[in-house]
Structure 1
């Protein structure tokens, strides 16, 4: 009984560590991209794939893991996922070739698929307001973890090189694996659902083709046969995937559920907020490291990591503010407010980016918006979902968030170059993203009006 009580007390810390550390590992990308470009002698847009590969794997792995781990295989799936992440970080330690590095980074993306499983574990173990607080905490740890990971991994890379940063990631994920092995409970649910591997293949290839076309279009030429072929071919595959998914008896994600009232607004905001978040993070690193006439702060890599400290700290504040707004004003104000916070951050950075303090201010504002928004998504969705569908619905929301991350990562640098680069390209890219937040805020308001009253959580 004592062992069972200890496991129960340590369950939430274990889940929070799991989601935080996997976010830290995913942060082994953005602040290191300029250093990777220099170390492996590749272009900046090519080096950006050391981040994009991780995000793309997370976007594809999340629905697969969400379906496969919907039953009694949840615990072993989490443990295997952590083992894959640990192996991927270990592979990246040895500087063999850029292709090997990207492969290791892609393996690390599996860890991003574990957040919905952590939320499902929390929902099974907790009820009422403690469940809501736990879900919000786990949702925001991904933001806080990335924010903590940026300065930590950047400092280690500054002192010991890229290999030292990935060695740190290996140690952290290995320790998380051991803690999960000790404290994660098993599940007595039915057998897992069948995975739609054909759908997974269509989704993976389609997204990869579109992202390759977008990220490499500046080099290949936007009107070249390679760019147009990949872009249009990938878009066609994604259309086929949607049609396949709607007809499948066991779809990878339930697209019909994704557009239900009460679910549609969080899904829309997840996509846009994810895109805006990684565009903001990526361009902030570019600004810190750039040394061009009239643009760039020309600062070392550890400063690129340091800019995420206010982002991380303020994301925790954003989480707390969301709780206050939900209790005092109502849940309908959560998503529009979060989008407007993001909007202020991107506009501030677009207009004023000549000094480090301006960047830190914009990142702090973005952190508030990020914590406010991402901590609200699961809390808003869960009351509208049958318990058996929680994992699948949260997985799709996570897919949209990671898809936004991936698009933001792959397109931010390319879009900046397409706008002419330098300060003008930087400003134009951020203002483009700002317009998306306006659309998302309006969409969240309109979609929320159609939402039914949520189910009351049992006490």
Structure 2
């Protein structure tokens, strides 16, 4: 097989040292984006004081990023396929830097929300990076590199939390955003110098109506899910937004199926390998975020509750940081399993490991080392899964659609995290215990959220089991990467339809 794939290195135009540099730079860019999103978490309780606004209004500094990322990810992915992934990657990083500077200069709510919105528009960096790897890397490097790129999402989030807590504790809070801007500038320069522009492009006409329709549907859906607990799940606003989302997305789907050059090719998305990978991504996004909701609260609740550990936000970050490192460490192993057994097996294995981690969390939650162990186990499972998903997606779509398809898969994970936040919020709000005069989430409430997280992982396992049997996914991806258009794409698509 190595002989058969040897020409790929030449076709990709990159010798191994160049490939190493491309992978390292893209992984760095992938880490910077989730790190940027995490930086604000330690200062959320203080934002009303910093911005001279109410707590209910300052939460929009988080919600705006979520909404902007959801809309931008598939749109930027499609633009990358059409006009150049390298170009759109640079545009995304510029938006991140601009948003960071705006936030760093902010002392009131409106500019902070504007800056956080700009930062959210950079969310397509990871799927763009994965698609560039498909176009540029030798075939034998692709599986491991895309697994590493997928894991960068977790690494950035896990490492960002302790770093942000430390910086917020020692310096003025604006420093968080100046550091984000500086990291973005470094990533921009390295991408500009090291990463080549892919020649794989579709060209064509951008689907403006489709992008507006998708934006309206997603914003309505995510607003209802993220703000439903505050507004009331049966309130007219929440129900109206949910109804709007359903209607708009149905009309959008009808329109996309009748458009010659759609924003999202729904026929490709409906193929079994793409469809079930995306559905499993929603479940995995739920499982990953459920842990991020449970562990910080357990660590910070007072010891007098009997189950809280009374620790600082810095300790929270240090406990969760190993999760990101484990995810990165699992990337090479994920690639090996995907190469020998197929990415379907890797995805199923990851789901079982995550479910086991939540099972451990239900019985081990009274010591710091318990939570470190749980975060590492779940991080290992997420690392396997996030490494397998790009291989499954790229093994079933033409090279010309890889950025859009990977972006849609990233969006599915984001939807899963939003649903996790809403579900966990409802459970913890209903299952409370009285501590003095304050109602706090009960120990059983946390255990129920963990059980739901385990159930979501098992759902992901069931969905992954519906994927097609292992075929030479790596070969499909390799041929598509080295022969854009023409026969490579045709062979790949016909196999996916089989």
Tell me the TM-score normalised to structure 1 length: 0.89
Select 2:445's aligned residue among 421, 425, 431: 425
Cα separation, partners in 2 of 1:52 and 1:355, compared to 1, 3 Å: farther
Tell me if structure 1 keeps the 8 A contact 2:282–2:413.
yes
SS of equivalent to 2:251: helix
Cα separation, partners in 2 of 1:219 and 1:94, compared to 1, 3 Å: same
In structure 2, how many angstroms separate the alpha carbons of the residues matched to 1:49 and 1:339?
32
Cα separation, partners in 2 of 1:402 and 1:80, compared to 1, 3 Å: same
SS of equivalent to 1:107: helix
SS of equivalent to 1:252: coil
Tell me if structure 2 keeps the 8 A contact 1:280–1:430.
yes
What do residues 359-404 of structure 1 show as CA deviations (whole Å, max 9, x unaligned)? 2121111110111110111123323332222222222212212222
Select 1:83's aligned residue among 84, 87, 94: 94
What do residues 277-300 of structure 1 show as CA deviations (whole Å, max 9, x unaligned)? 122113322333334834533322
In structure 2, how many angstroms separate the alpha carbons of the residues matched to 1:75 and 1:377?
22
SS of equivalent to 1:192: coil
Tell me if structure 1 keeps the 8 A contact 2:300–2:312.
yes
Match of residue 428 from structure 2: 416
The answer as to 2:305 corresponding to 1:293 is yes
Tell me if structure 2 keeps the 8 A contact 1:57–1:109.
yes
Select 1:262's aligned residue among 273, 298, 304: 273
In structure 1, how many angstroms separate the alpha carbons of the residues matched to 2:254 and 2:319?
43
Match of residue 379 from structure 1: 391
Tell me the TM-score normalised to structure 2 length: 0.82
Select 2:348's aligned residue among 336, 340, 346: 336
What do residues 229-251 of structure 1 show as CA deviations (whole Å, max 9, x unaligned)? 22322333233333332333222
Tell me if structure 2 keeps the 8 A contact 1:59–1:402.
yes
Select 1:119's aligned residue among 107, 130, 135: 130
State the number of aligned residues.
455
What do residues 305-357 of structure 1 show as CA deviations (whole Å, max 9, x unaligned)? 21221101211232233234334544332111111111122333344433322
Match of residue 239 from structure 1: 250
In structure 2, how many angstroms separate the alpha carbons of the residues matched to 1:247 and 1:430?
43
SS of equivalent to 2:197: coil
Tell me if structure 1 keeps the 8 A contact 2:19–2:137.
no
Unaligned residue ranges in structure 1 (runs of 5+): none
In structure 2, how many angstroms separate the alpha carbons of the residues matched to 1:150 and 1:233?
35
Cα separation, partners in 2 of 1:187 and 1:317, compared to 1, 3 Å: closer
Cα shift at 1:40: 5.1
Match of residue 141 from structure 2: 130
What do residues 11-34 of structure 1 show as CA deviations (whole Å, max 9, x unaligned)? 222212211212221222444434
Task: Give the CA RMSD over aligned residues.
Answer: 2.8
Select 2:295's aligned residue among 284, 291, 296: 284
Match of residue 219 from structure 1: 230
In structure 1, how many angstroms separate the alpha carbons of the residues matched to 2:381 and 2:237?
38
- Listed as ranges, the matches of 1:322-401 within 5 Å are 322-401=334-413
What do residues 26-74 of structure 1 show as CA deviations (whole Å, max 9, x unaligned)? 2224444344466558787766554443233222111111111214433
In structure 1, how many angstroms separate the alpha carbons of the residues matched to 2:114 and 2:456?
32
SS of equivalent to 2:123: helix
In structure 2, how many angstroms separate the alpha carbons of the residues matched to 1:305 and 1:252?
38
Tell me if structure 2 keeps the 8 A contact 1:62–1:398.
yes
Match of residue 167 from structure 1: 178
SS of equivalent to 2:468: helix
What do residues 204-240 of structure 1 show as CA deviations (whole Å, max 9, x unaligned)? 3333333333333333333222232223223332333
Cα separation, partners in 2 of 1:347 and 1:190, compared to 1, 3 Å: closer
Match of residue 330 from structure 2: 318
> Which stretch has the larger CA shift, 394-403 or 35-44?
35-44
Match of residue 186 from structure 1: 197
- Listed as ranges, the matches of 1:18-57 within 5 Å are 18-36=29-47, 39=50, 49-57=60-68
The answer as to 2:457 corresponding to 1:446 is no
In structure 1, how many angstroms separate the alpha carbons of the residues matched to 2:57 and 2:363?
28
